[in-house]
Structure 1
Amino acid sequence: MKVLILGGGGFLGRKLALKLAKRQALRGKSIDQMVLADIVDPKPIEAPFPVHYQPCDISNPASVADCIDAETDVIYLLAAVVSAHAEEDLDAGLSANMMGVLNVLERCRALGTCPVVVFTSSIAVFGGDTPQPFNDFSLPNPQTSYGAQKMIGEYLVTDYSRRGLIDGRGFRLPTITVRPGKPNRAASSFMSSIFREPLNGEAANCPVEPDFKQLYLSPRKCIENLIKGAELQATDLGQNRCMTMPGKVWSIGQMIEAMTNVTGPAAATRITWQKQPEIEGILKGWHMDIRTDRGLALGLEPDDSFEDNIRIYLEDDAPQS
């Protein structure tokens, strides 16, 4: 089995690659080789099988064609321009988040091999004045360019699957927290920085009120679900190939209290509370009353509590002294 991770240089792509290297199998078959592709060469990983590293710009059809060949069995399509960047630069978002998806699917169509394609969408497809609660069959009503681009990707994945050109499945990711590294341009980036930086002894700002609610999931659970998602059978997915990955809805205040329960009160004192209108405007378009019954029924799992998210960060990603 050959696995390709588009976005293999990102934090989720790297974690997924490491997990698959340890697992050594997917969909009941041994992994014989893996390709990690991104705008820049991903960092090497150790694996019991060959791992190739390849620059890839998914907005460029020729670059995509260089990454996907007839031997590719499973494609993880994680590469994307994040939310705030897509809102600031419409062309960048369209090129990566809409045309990039189309380029990948068209390459699969040209090869005629019908690979499994795992597409990461976003809960940003929901919003506006659509009645709540949202479930997997609610009408998407995105309030950002990023959400609209991800919604188009979902429709393409489902349609190309209906035509037998790919065996697709898409998962709307909750906010993944606590992320390692530095803040990025995602509107939800603060959802990691207000825990990560204080836990590392640094200050961080929260741009929303303590009662702001968010659907969240830890990186560890996200990776487990992405692997389970690839192993689902087409007959179990039905006519709509996309769904929301299960998570838990907690308020910022509840999450900070959970961090305090795990590590004590010092970290919370390093959080400042200054509004950022450019972020607040995007977040107001998101709605968090989201039900994930379909993913749960298929065996995908949320975290048990946000205390677990804090513990997972400390175990997996916190800088070691």
Structure 2
Amino acid sequence: MHVLVIGAAGMVGRKLLDRIAAEPGSLGGDIDRFTLVDVIEPVAPAVFASKSATKAADLSDPGVAEALIASRPDMIFHLAAIVSGEAEADFEKGYNVNLDGTRSLFEAIRLESKNAPYRPRVVFASSIAVFGTPFPDKIGDEFFTTPLTSYGTQKAISELLLSDYSRRGFFDGIGIRLPTICIRPGKPNKAASGFFSNILREPLVGQEAVLPVDENVRHWFASPRAAVGFFLHAATLDLEKVGARRNLSMPGLSALVGEEIAALRRVAGEKAVKLIRREPDATIQKIVAGWATDFDTTRATKLGFKAETAFDDIIKAHIDDELGGKIPG
């Protein structure tokens, strides 16, 4: 099997590769080749470095998608995107990367299939940002997509393309609508949702964090560990069971910011909670107000997708995976 990971240097991409390295059979067959791509050249896990080709490239640049698909990868993980806040701030860049790059990839696969039979599995990272207000109490799979951000619009259009290209038989695609991933390791990024992770990650290591919204803000979460599990399960799932509607909202946990903080208090104590500084930000508040807060994910759950059900478990997963199993100090 030849596996192509686009966005391999990102957080989810790196963790996906690490999981595959730790669980070689997780994609349902032997892997003899990896192609790892991102705008910054990715680093392959040591265990399969000898059979990996790494490349720094922008999928939206002319010719890049065609070059990647010319080698006919069997499994394609498309994780590359610029995040919500950056896509809102830079309209042209958002559409160029998040939409045009995706369309270029899909078109490259379609054109390659004209040369000889070729139908790879494509696992696409979408987002709950495809939904916009007004919301029902719980968003089900029948709810329409009316995004209120450029990022959400780019993902929604890509979802439609994925379903149509799959319907036409050009590839076998599935779109994974990710909850907000929390706790994201590393440094804060430009995502409008970044504070959800910041108010937990920084205090856990004794650093101050800024909270730009009210504690009564509710949102939909899953851990990085769960996100990797979503992609691995999607890679091996019988997509005949998914049917024509190829984009799925993933399971997650609906929680208030105040409930996040309460979980931090239970796991790390009051000392950590006191490191959260309230600093309201009207721009972030406006963006977050248009986001979905709760989902009915019966369809995805029946198909075998799983996520955490308590915020304490999300925090503990971060401590285990990023902090060596214990809180510093």
Smaller-chain TM-score range? over 0.9
- CA deviations over 1:232-265 (Å, ceiling 9, x no partner): 1121110100011110101111111111111211
Residue 214 of structure 2 aligns with which residue? 209
Take 2:47 and 2:287, find their aligned partners in 1: how far apart are those partners? 40
Match of 2:170, SS state, is: coil
- CA deviations over 1:213-244 (Å, ceiling 9, x no partner): 11000001110111001111121110100011
1:35-114 equivalences under 5 Å are 35-48=35-48, 50-112=51-113, 113-114=118-119
Residue 18 of structure 2 aligns with which residue? 18
Deviation at 1:281, TM superposition (A): 1.3
Take 2:14 and 2:4, find their aligned partners in 1: how far apart are those partners? 12
Deviation at 1:299, TM superposition (A): 0.4
The amino acid of 1:89's aligned partner reads: D
- The answer to whether the 8 Å contact 2:82/2:97 transfers is yes
Query: Which residue of 202, 212, 216 corresponds with 1:197?
Result: 202
The amino acid of 2:34's aligned partner reads: M
- The answer to whether the 8 Å contact 1:56/1:67 transfers is no
Deviation at 1:33, TM superposition (A): 1.5
- The answer to whether the 8 Å contact 1:57/1:63 transfers is yes
Match of 1:143, SS state, is: coil
Residue 179 of structure 2 aligns with which residue? 174
Residue 232 of structure 1 aligns with which residue? 237
Q: Tell me the TM-score normalized by structure 1.
A: 0.96
- CA deviations over 1:49-107 (Å, ceiling 9, x no partner): 61221112111241122222343011100000110111011100100111111011011
The amino acid of 1:73's aligned partner reads: D
Deviation at 1:309, TM superposition (A): 1.1
Match of 2:187, SS state, is: coil
Take 1:94 and 1:25, find their aligned partners in 2: how far apart are those partners? 36
1:145-160 equivalences under 5 Å are 145-160=150-165
List gaps (5 residues or longer) in structure 1: none
Query: Which residue of 245, 258, 269 corresponds with 2:263?
Result: 258
Q: Tell me the TM-score normalized by structure 2.
A: 0.94
Distance 1:61 1:160, change over 3 A: farther
- The answer to whether the 8 Å contact 2:9/2:43 transfers is yes
Deviation at 1:32, TM superposition (A): 1.1
Take 1:313 and 1:132, find their aligned partners in 2: how far apart are those partners? 29
Query: Which residue of 287, 290, 311 corresponds with 2:292?
Result: 287
- The answer to whether the 8 Å contact 1:54/1:67 transfers is no
Deviation at 1:29, TM superposition (A): 1.2
Take 1:67 and 1:318, find their aligned partners in 2: how far apart are those partners? 36
Take 2:222 and 2:70, find their aligned partners in 1: how far apart are those partners? 33
- CA deviations over 1:168-219 (Å, ceiling 9, x no partner): 0001100100011011111101111110011111101111111111100000
Q: Determine what percentage of the aligned residue pairs are the same residue.
A: 38
Residue 32 of structure 1 aligns with which residue? 32
Take 2:223 and 2:138, find their aligned partners in 1: how far apart are those partners? 23
- The answer to whether the 8 Å contact 2:216/2:257 transfers is yes
- CA deviations over 1:269-291 (Å, ceiling 9, x no partner): 00011111111111111121321
Deviation at 1:297, TM superposition (A): 0.7
- The answer to whether the 8 Å contact 1:127/1:286 transfers is yes
The amino acid of 1:37's aligned partner reads: V
Deviation at 1:27, TM superposition (A): 4.3
Take 1:104 and 1:267, find their aligned partners in 2: how far apart are those partners? 44
Q: After TM superposition, which residue ranges in structure 1, 4 or more long, deviate above 6 angstroms?
A: none
Take 2:37 and 2:181, find their aligned partners in 1: how far apart are those partners? 21
Deviation at 1:162, TM superposition (A): 0.1
- The answer to whether the 8 Å contact 2:17/2:44 transfers is no
List gaps (5 residues or longer) in structure 2: none
1:129-140 equivalences under 5 Å are 129-140=134-145
Take 2:137 and 2:34, find their aligned partners in 1: how far apart are those partners? 41
The amino acid of 2:124's aligned partner reads: F
The amino acid of 1:22's aligned partner reads: A
- The answer to whether the 8 Å contact 2:167/2:244 transfers is yes
- The answer to whether the 8 Å contact 2:261/2:273 transfers is yes
- The answer to whether the 8 Å contact 1:56/1:64 transfers is no
